[in-house]
Structure 1
Amino acid sequence: MSTSTHLIKSKSDKLPPSYPLIGSLFAILANRDRVIQWTSDILSDSPTSTFILHRPFGEESVLTSNPANVKHMLETRFNVYQKGETFRNTLSDFFGQGTFLADGENWKHQRQVLSHEFSKQTFYKYFETVVYSELTDHLLPVLSAAAANKTTLDFQDILQRFGLDTICQVACGYDEKSLLPSLAPSELGQAFHDSLRIINQRVSAFLPLIWKTKRFLNIGSEKHLRAGVIRIRNFVKESIKKKKEEQNNNNSLESLDFLSLLLVSGQSDEKFVEDMVINFILAGLESISAVLTWYFWLISGNPDVENEIVKEISGSNADDLVYTQASIFESLRFYPSVPVNSREAMNDDVFPDGTKVKKGSRVSYHNYAMGRSENLWGADCLVFKPDRWLKRDEGNGSVNLTGRDPFSYPEFHAGPRTCMGKEMATWQMKTVVAGVLRQFRVVSEFEKGVKPKFIAYFNSQMEGGFPVRIEKRV
């Protein structure tokens, strides 16, 4: 068994001390560069897998990795735990009034619109065509050139470029062409990346007055954010304008991208369409690359798993890749695309474990901690083991995926807000993995024993990128 098969568990941290007025500010500052790991360690020490983090000025953040509490949040008391005005005030500069921030009737309406478009077989086929095209025409040739020239690639950057080009085509029929052999900088991609990073700093800020002042004065990071958001919104507005001109000139739209389908369905409110498209892009922009970056790192250190995957993908299509899908779900358990997901409590409430939740508190379920929970995954919870997702029929020898309680494994959310793109995302990840590993070995260039640092904006990332060597399979 390779050394990277076992993930090292950090030394446990006790509940941070809290003081009048400043709360646990000292502990928050001391762990600001590893907040995900720090809070995960605290949850692993908690008898209820829940704790309250006291922020400055009396604000409370409730964090939990208890499936009963997660179900309570996401399903049983769904109407109590909403996105809320605090998140909307913090994020709406970028997200607008789109699905990510919507509550109540507004959310229901947007959910219905999404459900209508996602149910169209023509849209799914268009999505598949785009993914296959980007994979075969751009991603694989870049890897082939790197293998031939023996060059080191930042595989995280490559996967992010693949994600940008794919989602922009699926969203509005536009190809950014960031994955051409030159790998030239993408102004649009950088605008998205920087805007997500800065807006996430707002969410994690313990003194919101600082970023609000910078926004008012239009200085520093807030000036940079404003420029990025303008660049992104102008891109979407221009896409809408072109689609409407095409629609008016031809009395129809032949395109099958998300924007075209919205316009054909009669959506005439341009601000509504603009926010829907931006939220659609953000949902798929870095989520797939986040998962696959960590996936290929894990696979590079587990040759036995890689051999099983290569054996399975030989001559198979993405619908049949049971072991490959199990390995993706296992990787996602350790490195979720969204490590912590938050809501705001609309009323006072009590969790099933007895934790009292005050109205206005930020309440979060901790995917990262749940994936490392011995209570949920057993004594071998820190072992990368795709077989835990498989059920073998001793009678006929077949192997099938075994289901998991979505509130114990909420990587695609759960309850009414369950990710509508789960099947599309899973298919895309399997397709990319099969396409890459069928032809190449992705070899980590990290020094032996060096573990990359997990960081997160809205999606998880590998700090500093993922340097790899690409080798052609013989």
Structure 2
Amino acid sequence: MSSATTSNPLLSYIGGAAVAGITLLSAIYSDRAVFDPKREGIKTQAGWPLVGNLPLLIQHKDKMHDFLLEGFSQMDDLTLTMSALGIPRHIATLDPRNVEHVLKNNFENYIKGPEFHASLVSLFGNGIFNANGEDWKYQRKTASHIFNVKNFRDHFTDVFVEEIEFMSSHIWDKAAENHQVVDFHDVMFKFTLDSFILLGFGVHLNALKSDGKVPFAAAFDEAQKTTFQRFVNPIWPITERLLSVVMPWKSSMNNHLNVVDSFAREVIEKRRVEIADGEVHRDLLSRFMDARNAQGELLNNDELRDIVLNFVIAGRDTTAQALSWTFYVLLCHPRVEEKLLDEINENITPEAMHDSPALFEAIKNMKYAHAVFYEVLRHYPSVPLNQKYALNDDIWPDGTQIRKGDYILWCPYAQGRSEKVWGADAKVFKPERWINEQGELRRESQGQWPAFHAGPRVCLGQHLATLEALVAIIFLLKRYKFSLVAGQNITYQVSLTLPMLEGMKVMVQKRE
């Protein structure tokens, strides 16, 4: 025989040993990633030999939240784990007791871990979403000064109403008159972007005046998508570089980041000039420009850039998506829409629509409107999947043993659809579940309904987001009758938040 293998016994031996080694490892790690130990006491979703669940994660990366929901349903448990080659051990839970324990009762033990920080640092730097410890505390304390009741009642409501009036006259009135199809999702993103950029940074972005995509918003969205995909792609540093070489005509992550960075730094530099000229501003950016970091130093442009971008996603994305999903479910549930419209007409007078304090007070008493909004967030949470990192060993309320270095997942999207969490009608859209027998709003535990997070990191802007959403819902429903264009694929896009994949096309008519 003349083959290279048979003429070289050493190569033949090495090849045979390699095959034997792989066979042995495949037998030992038949359902999980190689060298990943079994976790006793936690139901484990079986995977492939040596690579674990990595192929499934890649296969279902575009429907990740439903994949997780199906996993919990199949395993018939509220806590499970999976193993995937190249991805650290994750333990996922839908149990409200566990979620509240992680976010509130043992808050200090669970942080934004190395995987989370590495994936997000390109886009969000060390801003509030990606920060821990003292860096997080000073950002939260400074931002909290702007989120007070007086601002809600006065300036914030004024801005929302002003932007809605512009949106109505320039978009919805024209669409009704000309029988135009409009992407509701796109309009909501422009509305919340204009509103929050003005409130947070004193800048008139005028996205609602734009017929097409706003460059900053488009780049920001693409950067978010790429950021999320890093969580399920352990070799993303290689694949992102490879894609930029193979498809140079396609905008890369760096291209998107350059657009985003340019916007943020332009806002900051403009404000520095304005302050040097003696102008006084009370927006969020100005507060941070007067603040000091954890080392007692004034913030530099890099730190301010991170803050700008973190509060853009907080103020723009989540509310725009919540509004889009709200009108989607209203158009799918005419009974709910009619009942909500009755409450609006009963409580909101024409005078209140032009008097911010009166509007604010009227909205506070609209129980059904709040219930609709809470139910939307139960089904379509603006942050559908979240993660923490365990600093030390812990035992959860359900008995699950957590080890130092474990990554913790909870999925509000799957949680809101779980019959074990919400009962047999979990998948039914029913705002009435939020109103008790006395007709008052009921609030579930933060662990059961973590739509605005929970504990010390509970969303600072939850009341602002609720106010903005309800003002928009009231004005739009009172003035317009929307209808869905037939034949659409209304589903979510996997990202850090929960945008609609293909938008939502609507027709609109003015109400009598």
Normalised by the length of structure 2, the TM-score is 0.82
Q: 2:441 aligns with which of 391, 401, 415?
A: 401
Q: 1:390 aligns with which of 426, 435, 438?
A: 435
* Counterpart contact for 1:60–1:361, Cα < 8 Å: yes
Q: CA deviation at 1:175?
A: 1.9
**Cα distance in 2, alignment partners of residues 465 and 69 from structure 1:** 34
Q: CA deviation at 1:77?
A: 2.2
Equivalent position of 2:213 in the other structure: 185
Equivalent position of 1:116 in the other structure: 145
**Cα distance in 1, alignment partners of residues 169 and 413 from structure 2:** 31
Equivalent position of 2:417 in the other structure: 372
The correspondence of residues 248-267 of structure 1 with structure 2, limited to 5 A, is 248-250=276-278, 252-253=279-280, 255-264=281-290
Gap regions ≥5 residues in structure 1: 1-13, 394-398
* Counterpart contact for 1:165–1:176, Cα < 8 Å: yes
SS of residue in 2 equivalent to 1:463: coil
Equivalent position of 1:9 in the other structure: none
Q: CA deviation at 1:273?
A: 2.4
Equivalent position of 1:195 in the other structure: 223
Greater mean alpha carbon deviation, residues 95-104 or residues 214-223: 214-223
Equivalent position of 2:478 in the other structure: 438
SS of residue in 2 equivalent to 1:93: helix
**Cα distance in 1, alignment partners of residues 423 and 149 from structure 2:** 41
**Cα distance in 1, alignment partners of residues 479 and 334 from structure 2:** 15
1:247 and 2:275 aligned? yes
SS of residue in 2 equivalent to 1:79: helix
Equivalent position of 1:303 in the other structure: 334
Q: CA deviation at 1:45?
A: 3.7
Q: CA deviation at 1:16?
A: 4.2
SS of residue in 1 equivalent to 2:508: strand
* Counterpart contact for 2:489–2:502, Cα < 8 Å: no
The correspondence of residues 268-417 of structure 1 with structure 2, limited to 5 A, is 268-270=298-300, 271-314=302-345, 315-316=347-348, 317=359, 318-393=363-438, 399-417=439-457
* Counterpart contact for 2:264–2:305, Cα < 8 Å: yes
* Counterpart contact for 2:492–2:499, Cα < 8 Å: yes
**Cα distance in 2, alignment partners of residues 263 and 469 from structure 1:** 44
The correspondence of residues 225-236 of structure 1 with structure 2, limited to 5 A, is 225-236=253-264
Taking a change above 3 Å as real, the CA distance of residues 421 and 296 of structure 1, as seen in their structure-2 partners, is same
Equivalent position of 1:51 in the other structure: 80
Taking a change above 3 Å as real, the CA distance of residues 454 and 191 of structure 1, as seen in their structure-2 partners, is closer
Q: CA deviation at 1:211?
A: 4.2
**Cα distance in 1, alignment partners of residues 131 and 264 from structure 2:** 20
Gap regions ≥5 residues in structure 2: 1-42, 349-358
Equivalent position of 2:39 in the other structure: none
Q: CA deviation at 1:371?
A: 0.6
Q: CA deviation at 1:215?
A: 9.5
The correspondence of residues 40-79 of structure 1 with structure 2, limited to 5 A, is 40-57=69-86, 59-79=88-108
Q: CA deviation at 1:143?
A: 1.0
**Cα distance in 2, alignment partners of residues 288 and 142 from structure 1:** 19
SS of residue in 1 equivalent to 2:486: coil
RMSD: 2.5
4+ residue stretches of structure 1 with deviation over 4 A?
A: 211-223, 264-267
The correspondence of residues 61-140 of structure 1 with structure 2, limited to 5 A, is 61-119=90-148, 121-122=150-151, 125-139=154-168
Taking a change above 3 Å as real, the CA distance of residues 198 and 139 of structure 1, as seen in their structure-2 partners, is farther
SS of residue in 1 equivalent to 2:223: helix
Equivalent position of 2:509 in the other structure: 471
* Counterpart contact for 2:93–2:99, Cα < 8 Å: yes
**Cα distance in 1, alignment partners of residues 432 and 249 from structure 2:** 45
SS of residue in 1 equivalent to 2:387: strand
Q: CA deviation at 1:290?
A: 1.1
In percent, how many aligned pairs have the same letter? 29
Q: CA deviation at 1:233?
A: 2.0
**Cα distance in 2, alignment partners of residues 184 and 206 from structure 1:** 35
Taking a change above 3 Å as real, the CA distance of residues 210 and 124 of structure 1, as seen in their structure-2 partners, is farther
Greater mean alpha carbon deviation, residues 454-463 or residues 426-435: 454-463
* Counterpart contact for 2:53–2:82, Cα < 8 Å: yes
* Counterpart contact for 2:143–2:284, Cα < 8 Å: no
**Cα distance in 1, alignment partners of residues 248 and 433 from structure 2:** 48
* 1:272-318: CA deviation from partner (whole Å, max 9, x where unpaired): 22222221112112111111111111100111111111111114232
SS of residue in 2 equivalent to 1:454: coil
Q: Which amino acid aligns with 1:98?
A: G
* Counterpart contact for 1:327–1:386, Cα < 8 Å: yes
SS of residue in 1 equivalent to 2:108: coil
Equivalent position of 2:352 in the other structure: none
**Cα distance in 1, alignment partners of residues 511 and 373 from structure 2:** 21
Q: CA deviation at 1:39?
A: 0.7
Q: CA deviation at 1:216?
A: 10
SS of residue in 2 equivalent to 1:34: helix
* 1:214-266: CA deviation from partner (whole Å, max 9, x where unpaired): 5998986996222222222222222222222222222x41x332112333557
Q: Which amino acid aligns with 1:277?
A: V
* Counterpart contact for 2:110–2:390, Cα < 8 Å: yes
Equivalent position of 1:429 in the other structure: 469
Q: Which amino acid aligns with 1:300?
A: L
**Cα distance in 1, alignment partners of residues 246 and 452 from structure 2:** 36
Q: Which amino acid aligns with 1:430?
A: L
Q: Which amino acid aligns with 1:244?
A: R
**Cα distance in 1, alignment partners of residues 217 and 87 from structure 2:** 38
**Cα distance in 2, alignment partners of residues 59 and 239 from structure 1:** 38
Greater mean alpha carbon deviation, residues 81-90 or residues 217-226: 217-226
Aligned length: 451
**Cα distance in 2, alignment partners of residues 201 and 321 from structure 1:** 40
Taking a change above 3 Å as real, the CA distance of residues 179 and 464 of structure 1, as seen in their structure-2 partners, is same
Q: Which amino acid aligns with 1:429?
A: A
**Cα distance in 2, alignment partners of residues 41 and 400 from structure 1:** 34
The correspondence of residues 146-225 of structure 1 with structure 2, limited to 5 A, is 146-180=175-209, 183-211=211-239, 213-214=241-242, 224-225=252-253
Equivalent position of 1:8 in the other structure: none
Q: Which amino acid aligns with 1:311?
A: D
Taking a change above 3 Å as real, the CA distance of residues 29 and 238 of structure 1, as seen in their structure-2 partners, is closer
Q: Which amino acid aligns with 1:401?
A: L
**Cα distance in 2, alignment partners of residues 114 and 154 from structure 1:** 33
**Cα distance in 1, alignment partners of residues 325 and 81 from structure 2:** 30
Normalised by the length of structure 1, the TM-score is 0.88
Equivalent position of 1:5 in the other structure: none
